[in-house]
């Protein structure tokens, strides 16, 4: 039996406002437990919510970035349920009338094409607090620092058909919110998290299968693994004649499995109704136009520009625009290198990103500045040094041993480009290896590499390979 996987994602992006969505309490991460919750966050008797305009602006930014409709009127609703870390006994969210409707985002596929994933809606809501289950003598503790932090819940259409596509979509949204500067995207701290709705159906069937909602997925890797596990589980059930039940399942990254949290029957009736403490949110065209002016160049536009302006292929361009920091770094390197765009792309992608990855270092903490890397590439381009020497210098720069020109000078790494000097060196090699020269001249052309190696060894890599090849060929054929 051929099965088709159907995936829709609900992403919760924490908006980077200074204060909470309905109170003036700070949103700073990592503060002492319960020090960032005011009376409003605590659900004190008599308190009232007041909407934070910054959260609205960020939601509108997202809507514009996702080519979506911004609702001129949206409505906050109460989602009622009891839980100790939900202070008011309801969460203020948006239900029937969200602020953002009908957008899309394009994701890159492996074959180099892109696929359009539609965004059903995105709505504003407040986060709940956190229950702490350790060290309370049989009770649970509650930390309300997180209560009231603004979230944008971004709901996709069920249009992804593999874990890979789901990850690509998640990454694209992640990139977008970071570009827009509306979410720090930190998955470990929970600023960017997602639930996945996963179902399978027989290939060719129209009707969606019964879905499971996977909760608690806080890394790109876990999304992929959780979906893989869940798809296998569902296939196994259906192939054995079983039925899938609609339920919420928790992903356990330690065991790499999903397990049932609650079934549809046990689900809450949230009794949504418009929050009478908040008026409908009215957004004018002027407000939207004003925000539009503040939008930065977005990943898709930037990618297109990189391909056109720098002559990059789609693959390299997507890597370089995958974060605004990388893109900015790259563009600086290009500038400093005297417009060696392709060479710069190679160096940024394979050397710099590789080194960052290996060191487990983030972009902002790079030991090599874009100016330094640009200079290094400039020196390759103007034949001062060879690519091979440049790799050694890259290490030196990484370790903070000095500046490019200074290092070249100090270590005498300047490429030898004087023809007479190179010819002299070649003559020496020919004199010391008569047998190899004879064999080469007798037709054993493979030996050419041996002579190149000898020359590089003697010159400590300081020869320009192209120049060496030319001169070596002339000498050997004399």
Partner 1 sequence: MYRKTITALSHDLHAKKISSVELTRLFLERIHKHNKKLNSFITITEEYALQAAQAADVQLAACAAHPLTGIPIAHKDIFCTEGIKTSCGSKMLDNFISPYDATIVQKLKAAGTVLLGKTNMDEFAMGSSNENSYYGSVKNPWNVSCVSGGSSGGSAATIAACLALGATGTDTGGSIRQPAALCGITGLKPTYGRVSRYGMIAFASSLDQCGPLAKTVEDVALLLNALAGFDERDSTSVDYKVPDYTKTLNDSIDGIRIGLPKEYFHNGLQGDVAKVIETAIKEYEKAGARIQEISLPHTHLSVPAYYVIAPAECSSNLARYDGVRYGYRCNQPKDLEDFYKRTRSEGFGSEVKRRIMIGTYALSAGYYDAYYLKAQKVRRLIRDDFNQAFKKVDVILSPTSPTPAFKLGEKANDPISMYLSDIYTIAANLAGLPGISIPAGFVNQLPIGMQLIGNLFDEAKLLNIAHWYQKITDWHQRIPEGF
Both structure tokens of 316: 């390299």
Q: Is 45 near partner 1 (CB under 8 A)?
A: yes
For the CA atoms of 292, 297, 301, 306, the dihedral, rounded to the nearest 10 degrees, stands at: 160
Q: How far apart are CA 237 and CA 1, in angstroms?
A: 13
Interaction residues for partner 1, span 434-453 (CB under 8 A): none
- Given candidates 26, 51, 224, 371, which one binds partner 1 under the rule CB under 8 A? 51
Which is closer to partner 1, CB of 43 or CB of 253?
A: 43
List, in sequence order, the alpha helices (H) in 294-418: 299-310, 314-321, 324-336, 341-346, 353-359, 370-381, 387-398, 404-410
Q: Is 261 near partner 1 (CB under 8 A)?
A: no
Site of tokens 């300047």:
414
Cα-trace Rg, the chain: 30
- Given candidates 10, 42, 307, 369, which one binds partner 1 under the rule CB under 8 A? 42
* Least Å from the CB of residue 143 to partner 1: 12
- Given candidates 276, 365, 434, 443, which one binds partner 1 under the rule CB under 8 A? 276
Judge contact between 321 and 299, C-beta under 8 A.
Answer: yes
Q: How deeply is 140 buried, as exposed, middle or buried, from its count of CB atoms within 10 A (0-12, 13-18, 19+)? A: exposed
Both structure tokens of 271: 């009794």
Q: Is 132 near partner 1 (CB under 8 A)?
A: no
Judge contact between 108 and 75, C-beta under 8 A.
Answer: no
* Least Å from the CB of residue 271 to partner 1: 4
Which is closer to partner 1, CB of 18 or CB of 441?
A: 18
Which is closer to partner 1, CB of 165 or CB of 213?
A: 213
Q: Is 278 near partner 1 (CB under 8 A)?
A: yes
* Least Å from the CB of residue 20 to partner 1: 14
Interaction residues for partner 1, span 69-108 (CB under 8 A): 78, 80, 82, 84, 87-90
- Given candidates 29, 43, 54, 101, which one binds partner 1 under the rule CB under 8 A? 43
Which is closer to partner 1, CB of 44 or CB of 474?
A: 44
Which is closer to partner 1, CB of 111 or CB of 265?
A: 265
Q: What are phi and psi of 156, to 5 degrees?
A: -95, 160
Stretch that binds partner 1, among 36-44, 66-74, 223-231, 445-453 (CB under 8 A): 36-44
Q: Is 47 near partner 1 (CB under 8 A)?
A: yes
Q: Which residues contact 232 (CB under 8 A, 6 or more apart)?
A: none
Number of chain positions touching partner 1 (CB under 8 A): 28
Tell which residue, 116, 123, 120, 111, has the closest CA to residue 8: 120
Both structure tokens of 255: 């065991």
Which is closer to partner 1, CB of 28 or CB of 268?
A: 268
Provide the CB-side half-sphere exposure for 345 (13 A, CA): 18
Which is closer to partner 1, CB of 128 or CB of 320?
A: 128
- Given candidates 116, 221, 264, 271, which one binds partner 1 under the rule CB under 8 A? 271
Binding site for partner 1 (CB under 8 A): 39, 42-51, 78, 80, 82, 84, 87-90, 142, 269, 271-273, 276-279
């Amino acid at each position: 039996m051929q099965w088709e996987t159907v995936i829709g994602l609900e992403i919760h992006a924490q908006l980077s406002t200074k204060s909470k969505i309905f109170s003036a309490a700070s949103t700073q991460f990592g503060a002492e437990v319960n020090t960032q919750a005011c009376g409003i966050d605590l659900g004190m008797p008599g308190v009232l919510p007041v909407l934070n305009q910054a959260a609205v602006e960020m939601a509108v930014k997202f809507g514009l970035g996702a080519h979506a409709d911004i609702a001129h009127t949206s409505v906050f609703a109460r989602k009622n349920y009891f839980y100790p870390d939900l202070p008011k006994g309801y969460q203020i969210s948006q239900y029937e009338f969200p602020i953002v409707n009908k957008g899309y985002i394009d994701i890159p596929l492996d074959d180099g094409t892109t696929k359009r994933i539609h965004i059903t809606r995105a709505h504003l809501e407040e986060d709940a607090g956190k229950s702490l289950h350790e060290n309370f003598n049989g009770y649970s503790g509650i930390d309300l620092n997180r209560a009231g932090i603004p979230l944008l819940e971004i709901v996709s259409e069920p249009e992804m058909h593999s874990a890979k596509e789901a990850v690509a979509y998640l990454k694209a949204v992640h990139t977008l919110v970071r570009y827009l500067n509306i979410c720090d995207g930190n998955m470990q701290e929970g600023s960017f998290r997602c639930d996945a709705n996963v179902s399978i159906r027989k290939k060719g069937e129209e009707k969606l299968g019964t879905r499971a909602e996977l909760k608690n997925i806080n890394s790109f890797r876990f999304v992929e693994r959780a979906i893989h596990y869940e798809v296998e589980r569902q296939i196994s059930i259906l192939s054995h004649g079983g039925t899938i039940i609609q339920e919420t399942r928790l992903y356990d990254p330690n065991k790499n499995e999903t397990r049932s949290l609650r079934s549809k029957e046990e689900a809450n009736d949230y009794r949504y109704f418009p929050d009478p403490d908040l008026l409908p949110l009215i957004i004018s065209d002027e407000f939207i136009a004003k925000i539009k002016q503040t939008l930065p160049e977005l990943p898709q536009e930037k990618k297109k520009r990189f391909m056109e302006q720098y002559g990059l292929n789609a693959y390299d361009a997507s890597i370089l625009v995958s974060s605004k920091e990388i893109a900015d770094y790259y563009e600086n390197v290009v500038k400093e290198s005297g417009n060696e765009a392709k060479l710069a792309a190679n160096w940024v992608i394979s050397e710099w990103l590789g080194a960052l990855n290996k060191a487990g270092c983030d972009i902002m903490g790079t030991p090599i500045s874009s100016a330094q890397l640009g200079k290094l590439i400039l020196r390759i381009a103007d034949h001062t040094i060879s690519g091979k020497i440049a790799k050694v210098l890259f290490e030196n720069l990484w370790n903070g041993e000095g500046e490019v020109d200074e290092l070249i000078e100090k270590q005498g790494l300047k490429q030898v480009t004087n023809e007479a000097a190179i010819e002299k060196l070649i003559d020496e090699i020919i004199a010391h290896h008569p047998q190899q020269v004879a064999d080469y001249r007798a037709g054993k052309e493979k030996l050419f590499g041996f002579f190149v190696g000898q020359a590089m060894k003697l010159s400590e890599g300081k020869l320009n390979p192209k120049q060496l090849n030319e001169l070596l060929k002339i000498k050997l054929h004399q």
